[in-house]
Amino acid sequence: MGILNITADSFFDAGKYKSIDLALKKTEEMVNEGAFFIDVGAASSKPGSQLISPEKEIKRLLPILEILIKEFTDTHFSIDTYNHKVAKESLTMGASMINDISGGEIDPEMLKTVAAFKVPYILMHMKGTPENMQKQPRYDNVTKEIKSYLAQRVKLALMSGINDIIIDPGFGFGKTVSNNFSLLKEMNVLNDLNCPILIGVSRKSMIYKTIGGSPTSALNGTSIIHAWGLERGASILRVHDVKEAKECIDLFLALR
Instruction: Report pLDDT digits (tens) over 21-45.
Output: 889 999 999 999 999 999 999 998 8
At 89, which amino acid appears?
A: E
Query: What is the rounded average pLDDT of the residues 157-179?
Result: 97
Looking at residue 14, its pLDDT comes to: 47
Q: How far is CA 16 from the centre of its chain?
A: 18
Looking at residue 133, its pLDDT comes to: 87
pLDDT digit string (tens) for 212-237?
A: 999 999 999 999 999 999 999 999 99
Alpha-helical (H) ranges within the chain are 20-32, 54-71, 84-93, 110-117, 142-160, 177-185, 205-211, 219-231, 242-255
Looking at residue 12, its pLDDT comes to: 47
pLDDT digit string (tens) for 9-18?
A: 554 444 565 6
Determine whether 138 is exposed, middle or buried from the number of CB atoms within 10 Å of its CB (0-12, 13-18, 19+): exposed
d(CA 39, CA 51): 18
Is 238 catalytic? The answer is yes
Looking at residue 47, its pLDDT comes to: 84
**For residue 151, is pLDDT > 90?**
yes
Three-state SS at 124: strand
Looking at residue 32, its pLDDT comes to: 97
Query: What is the rounded average pLDDT of the residues 196-203?
Result: 98
Three-state SS at 61: helix
- Strand order from edge to edge, sheet including 197-199: 2-5, 37-41, 76-80, 97-100, 121-124, 165-168, 197-199, 234-237
Provide φ and ψ at 243, rounded to 5°: -55, -50
Under the banding of pLDDT at 50, 70 and 90, the label for residue 19 is: confident
- CATH number of the domain where residue 186 is located: 3.20.20.20
- The percent of residues above 90 in pLDDT, for the chain, comes to 86
Kindly name the residue from 238, 243, 246, 256 that is annotated as catalytic. Answer: 238
Task: Give the count of domains, the chain.
Answer: 1
Query: What is the rounded average pLDDT of the residues 100-110?
Result: 97
Looking at residue 128, its pLDDT comes to: 87
Kindly name the residue from 60, 127, 204, 232 that is annotated as catalytic. Answer: 204
Is 153 catalytic? The answer is no
Looking at residue 130, its pLDDT comes to: 87
**For residue 157, is pLDDT > 60?**
yes
Looking at residue 11, its pLDDT comes to: 46
Q: What's the whole-number average pLDDT of the chain?
A: 94
Q: What is the pTM of this model?
A: 0.93
Domain that residue 73 falls in? 2-255
Looking at residue 30, its pLDDT comes to: 97
